Amino acid sequence: MELSTHWRVKKQRYALVGEVCPHCDEKIFPPRDICPDCGNEARDTYNFSGKGEVYSYSTLYDAPVGHEEQAPYTVALVQLEEGPMVTAQLTDLDEQQPEIGMSVEMVTRKLRADGDRGILVYGYKFRPVLSAI
């Protein structure tokens, strides 16, 4: 049922909690305890703002198991404003065409349904930043 797999990373999935390296100040997501930049130990918690921009994206139609109901959907590589990049679905696009460089912000949505009786996995998606009129 893999409940524990998702429970372990809930802070990452629901709140984009990562780490900051005390040696080189690199922001790290997801947390990995060893800084990928300088190689030193990095365990200090860091809360990402959820703001970023689209590095690239694509809309897919052939969905894997667990995502069939969502198809078609758009996935993206999002560069968080603090530096790290994440993979996530784009959501709330409505009629808007995604664009490289588009400003997006994190929201929490259903990622996957593990069958009729399986668990629902929630986590981060990104929606276009709504600009004030």
Partner 1 sequence: MTHNHDVNIIVAGVGLTPVGEHWEKSLRELALEAIVSAMTDAGGLKPQAMYIGNMLAPALSRQSQLGALLADFAGMRGIEAMAVEAGGASGGVALRQAYLALSSGLVSTAIVVGVEKVTDRVSNEVLTAQMTSSDADYESVHGVTPTAQAAMLMRRYIFEYDVPRDAFAGFSVTAHANAVTNPNAMFRRAIKPDTYAKAGIVSDPINMFDAAPLADGAAAVILAREDVLPGKLPHPSIRIEASSTSIDAVAIHDRPDPLVLEASKHSLDEAYRFSGYSAEDIDLFELHDIFSIYAVLSLEAGGFAKKGEGWKLALEDQIARKGSIPICTFGGSKARGDTGGATGLYQAGEATLQLQGRAGENQIQDAKVALVQCLGGTGATAASHVLARVDTG
Binding site for partner 1 (CB under 8 A): 5, 9, 30, 36, 55-68, 70, 73, 75-77, 84-89, 100, 111-112, 121, 123
Q: For the beta carbon of residue 102, count every other beta carbon within 10 angstroms.
A: 19
Nearer to partner 1, 10 or 23 (CB): 10
Nearest 5°: the CA angle 6, 10, 15 is 150
Nearer to partner 1, 126 or 128 (CB): 126
DSSP 8-state code for residue 34: B
Place of tokens 């372990």: 8
Nearer to partner 1, 18 or 133 (CB): 18
Taking the complex as a whole, the smallest distance from the CB of residue 79 to partner 1 amounts, in Å, to 9
Taking the complex as a whole, the smallest distance from the CB of residue 55 to partner 1 amounts, in Å, to 6
Nearer to partner 1, 46 or 57 (CB): 57
Q: What are the beta bridge partners of residue 46?
A: 18
Taking the complex as a whole, the smallest distance from the CB of residue 9 to partner 1 amounts, in Å, to 6
Taking the complex as a whole, the smallest distance from the CB of residue 42 to partner 1 amounts, in Å, to 14
CA-nearest of 41, 48, 44, 62 to 17 is 48
d(CA 68, CA 70) in angstroms, rounded, equals 5
